[in-house]
Chains A and B, each alone.
Chain A
Amino acid sequence: MTQAPVSEPRTAPAAGRGRSARLGSPASIVGVGLAAILGAAVLSLMIGAHFVSLPDAFTHLFGSDDGSQAYAVIDSRVDRTLVAVLVGAAVAIAGVVMQGITRNPLADPGILGVNSGAALAVILGIYWFDVTTMAAYVWLALLGAAVAAVVVYAVASLGPRGPQPVTMALAGAALTAGATSITAGIMVSSSETLEVFRFWQVGSVSGRDMGAVAGVLPLFAIGFVLCLIMGGILNALALGDDLARALGQRVMVGRAVGALGAVILCASATAVAGPIAFVGLVVPHVVQLLVGPDYRRILLGSLLGGPVLMILADTLGRVVTPPAEVSVGIMTAVIGAPVLIFLVRRMGVR
């Protein structure tokens, strides 16, 4: 097993890239990122089963309800675009922090089984307690995500040579398989639960009511704060635990705070939009190629890059198989799998 590239995910591949400095300054990251989000959002408002021209989109966006079909379309697209921004940012940031604190370039809430833990908790809530509110989903998802994260990390730590990328991915896969089995068992025996759950399960931002989402915004805020203050700690951790300690970082406290923040963000995002796979994996790596190895910049870039990927995936999903719509969670998985395979090959895993 080639140890070096695995344990130094950030610094090794990106250090030699001088041109990455082009996008390096925080101001340019924010500028480019916001412009990209804006562009994607405009596309998202225009494109879908019902095409709305740019002038019409703006007229209806800032106008009042004139009862027209275009207005209703824009109204629903505004909601799902906003949800996509929120969820995309949350999952991407969670991905950065998970990759940083585990020093595992393959860490992603989907791959590590955190999403399926959250999903399992939610379906148990629907099945046993007839839970239907977003707020209740969030707390259930939080509980499930936390348990899954602890189990996967503990199992991987007890495995050969500590928490390796492979053991973590396998532990995540095992947990996902087990959770999926229980989920399937419940859905087979209860068609009401199946009806509620099957659309939630694939990860979607359509038909999500902003009013319901607003209730969980405080939780998102806490998660974002906890993750975004991790920049310096993640930079230190990338050098190895010993060096990080020598630099005055409290390694375990830093890891715990990061894990808490990442789990809160994953759970909130999962509660709102269902499990979204691979965004947390893909965005940090792409952003890192653009902005270099500094975690503070990667966090900032991913905060803006996650929404771009989510909005574009959602928009693409509306038009690839007309008249049906492909949920965003499915689009991101199809986009993300090749990236995972590319990363695995580049890492030189044997």
Chain B
Amino acid sequence: MALETLESPSETTKSEAATVVRTVRRRVRRRHLLVLVAIGALWLGLFAARVLLGDFTVTIPDFFRILFGADIPVATFEVMESKLPRAVMATLAGLAFGASGAVFQSMLRNPLASPDVIGVTMGSSAAAVVAMTVFGMDGLPLALVAILGGLAVACAVLFLSGSKGAATYRMILVGIGLAAALQSVIQWVFTTTDVYKAQDAMVWLTGSLNSVTWSEILRVTVTVAILLPVVAAMSPRLQMLELGDDAAQGLGVRATQTRALLMGAVVLMIAITTSVVGPISFVALLAGPIARRLNGGRPSIPIAALVGACIVVAADYVGAYLFGASNLPVGVVTGIAGAPFLLWLLIASRRTIKDG
């Protein structure tokens, strides 16, 4: 209807055109809000299921009593030491990975670009594993090393692919190469430690929420609470960058500066999250395209972040309870589910990737 009106300008006065634009905009905004609320509700449901259900069921009144300090035998321990921290950390990690995936995909204009494909998460993991097993580091220093590792790989990929902002595929290939080398460094560490340490490292390497502590959660909460709004606030400028650097410059966006700022914020967010939960594979890759589809083909960082949160919470639940006795790390679940999705994305991107 809107398009028909636009196509006959002779019968359309200026004010009518303005009304049409306003209507379309309002509809886009309403859809965005609607999707945001729906996906938020889905997350809340998953979160509640993760905390209350499973092999140990907690009633809702009991949960709130525990939250406000009541000490119910077994239940308090289950909720405060296992279920709640895992659900909270899963949410935070999902928000961070989902948002960063959306930013990468918009910025590089490629649905396949994501921090794990480009090797940033692998950089954090490799640095952390070496620091942990070779130098015996833990806590905050370990986190700092992981952050530096992620930043270093991000810089290396940008530098080695001769970044002019357009060499997306080169970045992906350079990232795959670096990730392969880093992976083998991790495997080297993995073979030099004893089997118990190896199993610990294994759980951590695949991305796991099994042993998160409240102090780690606080660290990630602060990070996400600061950086996510910053990234979300820059999303209008990011959308202009999608038009190409020249067009964005014309609209008053400083392309290089915006890109550097976004990249810095996103890499920092992923690196800090990875230092706590390890590389939860494919979440960043999956969240962006799903969010775009839900939002009628438009990218949205908040929706991508919430989609990421839903994926991680759900995957953690599946890994913890749906495979019998074995408690699978969340990264294993997302990896198994994500690989077919990436393959499908490669086939489906026939329409979205036109040339180079």
**A interface list, Cβ under 8 A from B:** 1, 106, 110-111, 151, 155-156, 158-160, 165-167, 169-171, 173-175, 177-182, 184-185, 187-189, 191, 194-195, 198-199, 201-202, 277-278, 324, 326-327, 329-330, 333-334, 336-337, 340-341, 344-345, 349-350
Report the minimum CB–CB distance from A341 to chain B (whole Å): 5
Quick check: is B356 within 8 A (CB to CB) of the other chain?
A: yes
Q: Are A160 and B350 in contact (CB under 8 A)?
A: yes
| CB–CB B177/A182 < 8 A | no
Question: Nearest chain-A residue to B356 (Cβ)?
Answer: A1
For B172, B184, B188, B198, the residue with the greatest tally of chain A CB atoms inside 10 Å of its CB is B184
A155 to B349, CA, bound (A): 11
Q: Is the CB of A188 within 8 A of B202?
A: yes
**Can you report 18 residue pairs joining A to B where beta carbons are below 8 Å apart?**
A156-B346, A159-B347, A159-B349, A160-B350, A166-B169, A177-B116, A177-B342, A179-B339, A181-B281, A181-B339, A185-B336, A278-B180, A329-B184, A337-B178, A341-B160, A344-B174, A345-B162, A350-B167
Decide if B220 is an interface residue (CB 8 Å cutoff). Answer: no
Q: Give Cα A160 to B345, complex, Å.
A: 11
Interface string of B122-153 (1 = CB under 8 A from A): 00000000000000000000000000000000
A277 touching B180 in the complex, CB below 8 Å, given contacts A188-B326, A188-B332:
yes
Q: Is A191 a contact partner of B195 (Cβ separation < 8 A)? A: yes
Question: Complex Cα distance A130/B117, Å?
Answer: 34
B338 close to chain A: CB less than 8 A: yes
Contacts of A156 in B (CB 8 A): 346
The B181-222 residues at the A interface (CB cut-off 8 A) are 181, 183-185, 187-188, 190-192, 195, 198-199, 202-203, 205-206
The minimal Cβ–Cβ distance linking A110 to chain B, given in whole angstroms, is 7
* Contact in complex: A160, B353 (CB < 8 Å): yes
Nearest CB of B to A112, in Å = 11
| B173 engages A166 (CB within 8 Å) | yes
Contacts of B190 in A (CB 8 A): 198, 202
Could you say which residues of chain A place their CB within 8 Å of the CB of B205? 184
Knowing A181-B206, A187-B202, A340-B177 touch, does A330 contact B169 (C-beta < 8 A)?
no
Query: Which A residues touch B170, using CB under 8 A?
Result: 344-345, 349-350
The residues of A that contact B178 with a CB separation of less than 8 Å are 337, 341
A327/B188 in contact, CB under 8 A: yes
Are B181 and A337 closer than 8 Å at their CB atoms? yes
The contact string, 1 if C-beta is below 8 Å from chain A, for chain B 340-355, is 1011001101100111
B112 within 8 A of A: yes
User: Across the interface, which residues of A come within 8 angstroms of B333, CB to CB?
Assistant: 181
A335 to chain B: closest residue by CB: B181
In the bound complex, residues from chain A placing their C-beta under 8 Å from that of B115 are none
Once the chains are docked, how many angstroms separate the CA of A324 from the CA of B161? 34
Within the assembled complex, what's the spacing in Å between the Cα atoms of A195 and B202? 12
CB of A288, distance to nearest CB on chain B (Å): 19
User: With A278-B180, A344-B177 as given contacts, are A188 and B206 in contact (CB-CB < 8 Å)?
Assistant: yes
Bound form: Cα–Cα A151–B342 in Å: 13
CB-defined contacts of A151 to chain B, threshold 8 Å: 343
